Amino acid sequence: MCVALPGRVEWIGHRAGASIPGRIRVGKALVEVDFILLPEIAVGDYVVAHSGYAVATVPEETATETLGLLASDDPG
């Protein structure tokens, strides 16, 4: 099973062919992603990334709530 997690856009590189490289922060980790599917994205936005691609934007409140639940020791 694959899981897509929300992350905050930290860096967006220059478009190179069919790729827009970048990084998102998921918790304490920086994750390399491609923003080609979301060319209008901006630093500070929140996205859901799957298989190395940012696939959707999400509201900050939703992203932080999800990440908080994942970081919690309480399973329910």
Nearest to 12 by CA among 44, 52, 51: 44
Is pLDDT larger for residue 73 or for residue 10?
A: 10
Structure tokens, 20: 């827009």
Supply the pTM of this predicted model.
0.86
* pLDDT tens profile 9-64: 999 999 999 999 999 998 889 999 999 999 999 999 999 999 999 999 999 999 98
Question: What architecture does CATH give domain 5-71?
Answer: Roll (2.30)
State the DSSP string of 7-64. Answer: EEEEEE----SS--EEEEEETTEEEEEE-TT-TT--TT-EEEEETTEEEEEE-HHHHH
- DSSP character at residue 67: H
- DSSP character at residue 5: E
Query: Domain-by-domain residue ranges, the chain?
Result: 5-71
